[in-house]
Amino acid sequence: MMAKTHALFGVAAGSLLVGTADPFCLGVAAVASQLPDADTSKSIIGRILFPISRLLEKRFPHRTLTHSFLATMLIAAIAWPLRWHSPQLWKAALWGYFFGWFADAFTRAGVAAFYPLTSARLVIPANPRLRMQTGSKAEYIVILLLIGVLAASLHLNTKGGLMRTLTMALGRSESLVKLYQAEGARRRVIADIQGRFAASNVPLHGSYDVIEASGENLIVRAVGEKDGVLYLAGHAQECASCQILIERVKGALGAAVTTVTRELRFEDRKIGDVLDSLRADGAEIRISGEIILDDADLLSWPISLQRFNPVTVSGASTKTLKLQAATPADLERAADYFGRGQLLVREVRDVR
Amino acid sequence: MEQIQIQEPKLRPVADRQQTDGTPGASDSPRCHRKSEIEMILGALHNGASLLVVAGPGLGLSTLASFLRAELRARDEESILGEPTTVKAMLVDLCRQLGLNTEKRTGTQLQEMLAEAVPARRVIMLFDDAHRLPVSIRSWLESLHERGARIVLFATLPPRRDIFLRLPRIELKPLPHAAIREIMLEASRYVGRDFTSAELSTLAERCGGNPMLARRVVREEHLGLDPTAPDHTEWIDGTPMLIAALLCFTVLRYLGRGLHSSDLYLVGGMLAVAVGIVRVLLYSLPRKSAKLGQ
């Protein structure tokens, strides 16, 4: 097999299995994929490592010691220090080396994969006429296929990896919840929702910012409307309280953001003062948690059936406010009351 | 048109060479790479046992028989070497090796003469290509063996019956790389061409430790022939292993169910189908033919 086929095999497999598009990682995989051929001075790597290749070719037939599981384990051990720098680099080196020699199992002579336990050669498939010859047309077809796999892998990896892309293609809210959990602290997550409003059955198709995940459902807001209305979106059969019923949803990553989360406890403080302390310029504040207000008989809170209610109230004289993705503006009604509470405050700022 | 001159290797049968050179291992003789096997056979013969030596084609049975005979001669042990021809011709040849008069004797008479002489003179009987021996000779050898004659049969993949099943068996393994390399160097000297270490290392991968193939690949390379599919039998079909490794991905389906992740469950399902397709395609490929050139 030609050096470029080995390199492509190593890089494509490394990219798929490590899930990276990092050029340095892929470079390491490409170099590692050449190392098995250090057992012959006819190869490029053999010429570079001449004293070693000379020694190896005198003692071992081609594609034995360096094309084995034993050598792969040795490389894994030798390359272990790479893990301290980056585990991905180590994995890239390992997969690059493994697929560098494993590709030769598809050639006529095969590889002594279980050397030194046995010198018998591992071949795929069993029929030698269907296996490749170095420089044959079949090898060039394999090169084209590998380029295709590599391109697809790089495309997938820049979009978050194979698994994420596949699950996204299924159009389920659960996939978007996972995307939000993985990336929501660094990037805005945009949901392209196809479905209908639960109350009116009016169809909808639009882009929404994911504000928060609530179980397997999403709290969303129309893109660009910073103070816009929130909706709870989920699949009809799994979410009875959702305002948007999803038929299909696709996720995408939007602008970069920074997220700071802090916990706040207070006792017998005026809520208005608490809210003043939360406000921050240019940041979007989302509050979750619980506030208990004493002597709040007169406090009433409107409930909407067509949108998500970030604040829900229970109790008579002592009222408990349950918050989820609420803004300070949502709590203005309670500003003059005194109370105690425990809040989780999330500040999201756009990175400029 | 350019003419290619092919210099045929002038290899003589090792047995002949031993007779003229005197001892095995003389400077122009090939080295014996099966010393441990020879020691094992000699040990068995010393204990009055008979043996069957089995190997695949080209693994050096005839060479081993020749070296063994030379070694027996060096130890003053009388031996006769039979090679399958017609029954009568082989019996005549065996009798002549013992100096017996074969004139006007029938096959049965020759067998009786040998049956008397072999135990009496403690002759060791060696048979090369024993897998080609006719049933009548095999039955006769069985009776000789029962009467205490020491017999060594060298057979290439013999059938699982009669004397082949009865005798204790040694199976020859492929030769190590150092021996194969030496044989290839020797063969390259015969064809008058120097191969580099890298070339020998590459050629060795087509031999599978088989000395006959080692000589053949050197000749093929010397003649500039395209490498054919290797003929050795040291293979492991990796197709089932590949499918088994791919099947491991289908565990995602069960992980998805266990972790209540419908995404993982669906992707695992899709991978299971993909692996199933790969499996069907791989197993539908044409099988390896037992005949050459197909």
Asked if A125's CB is within 8 angstroms of B239's CB, the reply is: yes
Q: How many CB pairs under 8 A join A and B?
A: 116
* Contact between A40 and A6 (Cβ < 8 Å): no
* Contact between A128 and B229 (Cβ < 8 Å): yes
- Taking the domains of chain B in order of start, what are their residue ranges? 14-24+34-171, 177-223, 239-283
Residues A64 and A51 in one domain: yes
Q: In this complex, which of A58, A130, A166 lies closest to B267 when CB atoms are compared?
A: A166
Residues A240 and A267 in one domain: no
- Check CB contact of B197 with chain A, cutoff 8 Å: yes
Residues A111 and A253 in one domain: no
pLDDT of B248: 86
3-state SS, residue A10: helix
Residue A333 sits at the vertex; the CA angle it makes with A332 and A336, to the nearest 5 degrees, is: 85
Q: In this complex, which of A120, A133, A166 lies closest to B235 when CB atoms are compared?
A: A120
Length of chain B: 294
Output phi, psi for A113, to 5 deg.
Answer: -65, -30
CATH 3.30.540.10 for the B14-24+34-171 domain, yes or no: no
Residue type, B277: I
Residues A178 and A149 in one domain: no
DSSP letter assigned to residue A125: S
Asked if B236's CB is within 8 angstroms of A124's CB, the reply is: no
Range of the domain at A340: 258-350
pLDDT of A265: 93
- CA–CA separation, A293 vs A338, rounded Å? 6
CATH code of the domain in which A173 resides: 2.30.30.690
Boundary of a domain, candidates A109, A125, A158:
A158
Boundary of a domain, candidates A158, A191, A225:
A158
* Contact between B201 and B221 (Cβ < 8 Å): no
Scan for tokens 């305002």, then name that residue. Answer: A243
Boundary of a domain, candidates A257, A286, A307:
A257
- Directed axis angle between helix B61-74 and helix B35-46, to 10°? 60
- Check CB contact of B242 with chain A, cutoff 8 Å: yes
- Check CB contact of B201 with chain A, cutoff 8 Å: yes
- CA–CA separation, A98 vs A190, rounded Å? 39
pLDDT of A219: 93
Residues A178 and A295 in one domain: no
Residues A128 and A20 in one domain: yes
Asked if B205's CB is within 8 angstroms of A63's CB, the reply is: yes
Residues A209 and A246 in one domain: yes
- CA–CA separation, A176 vs A168, rounded Å? 7
ipTM, two decimals: 0.72
Residues A231 and A301 in one domain: no
Residues A291 and A230 in one domain: no
Nearby residues of A236 by Cβ (< 8 Å), 6 or more positions away: A198, A242, A245, A246
- CA–CA separation, A288 vs A271, rounded Å? 15
Which residue in A43, A52, A108 has the most chain B C-beta atoms within 10 A of its own C-beta, making it the best mutation to test that interface?
Answer: A108
Mean pLDDT per block of 10 residues along chain A (352 residues) reads 89 87 90 93 90 90 93 94 90 94 91 90 87 85 90 78 70 82 89 91 92 90 83 86 90 89 91 85 88 86 88 87 90 89 91 78
- Check CB contact of A217 with chain B, cutoff 8 Å: no
* Total domains, chain A: 3
Number of C-beta neighbours around residue B161 at 10 A: 10
pLDDT (tens, 9 = 90+) of chain B, 294 residues, equals 334 443 333 333 334 434 333 333 333 456 788 899 999 999 999 999 999 999 999 999 999 999 999 999 999 999 999 988 899 999 999 999 999 988 888 889 999 999 999 988 899 999 999 999 999 999 999 999 998 899 999 999 899 888 999 999 999 999 988 999 999 999 999 988 888 888 999 899 888 889 999 999 999 999 988 877 777 778 899 989 988 988 888 887 788 788 877 777 877 888 889 888 988 988 888 877 777 765
Asked if B209's CB is within 8 angstroms of A121's CB, the reply is: no
